[in-house]
Amino acid sequence: MIYKTDPHLISPYLKDASNYIGGFADKVVIPESIEELSCFLKTNTQQITIAGAGTGMTASRIPLSGCILSLERFNSIGNPDGGFIDVGPATSLENLYKKLEPTEYFYPPNPTETLASIGGTAATNASGSRSYKFGVTRDYVIEADIFFSDGNSTTLKRGLTIDDPLEISNGRKVFFPNISYKSPLCKNAAGYYVRPNMDWLDLFIGSDGTLGIFTRIRLKLKFSPSSFISGILFFDKEEECWDLVDSIKKSKQKFINPCSLEYFDRHSLNRLRKKFSHIPTAAQAALFFENDIDRQIDHKIALDSWIDYLENTSVLSDSWFALSASDLKKFHEFRHAIPALINEENSRLKRTKIGTDMAVPDLYYFDMMNFYTRELESSGIEYVVFGHLGDNHLHINFLPDEQNIQKAHDLYAKFVSQALKWNGTVSAEHGIGKLKKKYFLQMVGEDSMNQLKSIKKIFDPDFYLGKGNIF
Ligand SMILES: Cc1cc2nc3c(=O)[nH]c(=O)nc-3n(C[C@H](O)[C@H](O)[C@H](O)COP(=O)(O)OP(=O)(O)OC[C@H]3O[C@@H](n4cnc5c(N)ncnc54)[C@H](O)[C@@H]3O)c2cc1C
């Protein structure tokens, strides 16, 4: 077991991508085996915050007190076997992708930040550009070993539903409480997942480090597509990009069936121009799309379908198309660059991130785009909008100067209220953590919050895990 108590060694664990300030822990505990982890938990009397890779956006891995539990030594990665792979929770997405590269498999949800750990992505139910078609982390976690704050454990598998009691290693049987709360049906990463007849596993996925500790995760893989048709399409008006996405989503054409539809507004492009100087000067918006092709034989016909499809649209002629796997990699770098640039800008200017993660049902797509744009334009606050347009799920980053901070928070609150009126969610991807609790309470209400607390109490009665997250 490794203990770090020197404040200089603790301080890297007091950060994530949210720029949240105010974390505190008196030590970092790093078990080197399951036995050490279990022994530590059985004797521990402090609050515990679980650390993943620290790329989270909601300060959920930043402790408020007690100690930090880092599973960084649990980074084993198995061999893909029959479409499944076992990984330790500290395995990064980057290492998973490297492992899969020479195989016939890929891991579809692809959250943008590849330094993120699989444990972190499971705890936040992370998603990425390809989630539009392939689904989110929840859809690919099929088994997990979980430790509880008291040192007991269980193995959760698909098919073990909450209709049956859950058996814990000490022989205790846990029954799911009789509650009325249900998670929304739209893309959602806010609070505990609760749906009728769900698997116990689903409760732990997206639980923000508050219910249990993932120590082994079995992921489901998919056969790699034989190729992707992909491009970054530029537009001289943002609205033209919104229209095209709407039309792509409604298209019934066989090969117009993308897995990614990612948006960049003009403020995103202005920032990206510093890194990608050949962005067309007329461009005021962009769409990164990818269409997976299963059989190589279909590639040409799919490419022709896309060319025909885009011919009579307002896409600028100097848009980019991927001609090779390395072009596709560059397009992913382009997508990754925008949140990274904003995080870097926030850090440099010591600005706390004020970024939204709301999603609304398809029905309100245009209402949402018009509402956001109208309000942002008239606010006078600097902002950037990018994200998963295919899922009606945008990241609005408010970039206020000192005088406008409160105004930005007020506008954020207004957006939340509107998204909730449209049956949306306050977090579709990053989780609630410490930064979105107020909005989560607004989303579910006091009564449901108490119901969710009753779930927490079953597994962590003394509220040791993830203090300050969700509740
Ligand atoms: C540039 C950039 C782009 C991003 N893009 C995306 C994106 O496209 N999609 C997306 O969903 N997110 C994105 N994120 C956010 C972030 O990458 C995800 O939230 C990711 O899932 C966090 O993983 P992590 O390992 O860094 O976890 P951390 O930030 O360390 O922790 C996150 C939460 O997971 C818990 N946790 C960690 N390990 C375990 C474990 N073993 N058991 C139980 N709980 C655990 C922690 O306690 C905490 O509550 C992005 C971040 C950055 C910086």
CATH number of 2-70: 3.30.43.10
pLDDT of residue 6: 98
Q: What tokens were used for 214?
A: 């993932």
Contact 393, 429 (CB under 8 A): yes
Contact 190, 104 (CB under 8 A): no
Pocket test for ligand 1, best of 14, 61, 260 (most atoms within 8 A of CB): 61
pLDDT of residue 185: 85
**Spans in the chain with pLDDT lower than 50:** none
- For the Cβ of 209 lying below 6 angstroms from any atom of ligand 1, the answer is yes
Sign of the dihedral through C-alpha 59, 64, 68, 74:
negative
* Integer Cα distance of 266 and 262 in angstroms: 14
**C-alpha 143, offset from chain centre:** 19
Question: Count of CB atoms within 10 A of residue 207's CB?
Answer: 28
- For the Cβ of 114 lying below 6 angstroms from any atom of ligand 1, the answer is no
Contact 448, 454 (CB under 8 A): no
Contact 122, 95 (CB under 8 A): no
- For the Cβ of 23 lying below 6 angstroms from any atom of ligand 1, the answer is no
Sequence letter at residue 99 = K
Question: Count of CB atoms within 10 A of residue 376's CB?
Answer: 20
pLDDT of residue 156: 98
- For the Cβ of 451 lying below 6 angstroms from any atom of ligand 1, the answer is no
E strand or H helix at 231, and its extent?
strand 227-235
- For the Cβ of 138 lying below 6 angstroms from any atom of ligand 1, the answer is no
pLDDT of residue 330: 95
Q: What tokens were used for 83?
A: 């479409």
pLDDT of residue 57: 93
Say how many CA atoms lie within 13 Å of 386 toward its Cβ.
27
User: H helices within 34-108, ranges in order?
Assistant: 34-43, 93-100
Which atom of ligand 1 is found nearest the CA of 466? Answer: 47
* Integer Cα distance of 128 and 96 in angstroms: 15
Q: Please tell me the distance between residue 256's alpha carbon and the centre of ligand 1 in angstroms.
A: 32
- For CATH 3.40.462.40, list the domain ranges present in the chain: 227-421
* Integer Cα distance of 77 and 79 in angstroms: 7
pLDDT of residue 112: 87
Q: Please tell me the distance between residue 57's alpha carbon and the centre of ligand 1 in angstroms.
A: 7
E strand or H helix at 156, and its extent?
strand 153-157
E strand or H helix at 286, and its extent?
strand 285-293
Q: Treating both helix axes as pointing N-terminal to C-terminal, what angle do 238-250 and 365-379 enclose, rounded to 10 degrees?
A: 170
For 84-223, give the CATH class.
Answer: alpha beta
CA–CA–CA angle 368, 112, 358 (5° rounding): 25
Q: What tokens were used for 451?
A: 């119901």
Q: How far is CA 89 from each of CA 2, 101, 289, rounded to the nearest angstrom?
A: 18, 20, 30
- For CATH 3.30.43.10, list the domain ranges present in the chain: 2-70
Q: What tokens were used for 261?
A: 């539809």
Q: Please tell me the distance between residue 30's alpha carbon and the centre of ligand 1 in angstroms.
A: 19
Q: How far is CA 220 from each of CA 99, 128, 290, rounded to the nearest angstrom?
A: 14, 16, 21
CATH superfamily of domain region 227-421: FAD-linked oxidase, cap domain/gating helix (3.40.462.40)
Longest CA span, the chain: 68
Q: Which residue in this structure is represented by tokens 């949210």? A: 18
Q: Which of 166, 161, 116 is nearest to 146 (CA)?
A: 166
Q: What strands, in cross-sheet order, belong to the sheet with 84-87?
A: 84-87, 213-220, 141-147, 153-157
Residue nearest atom 11 of ligand 1, based on CA coordinates:
126
pLDDT of residue 454: 97
pTM listed for this prediction: 0.94
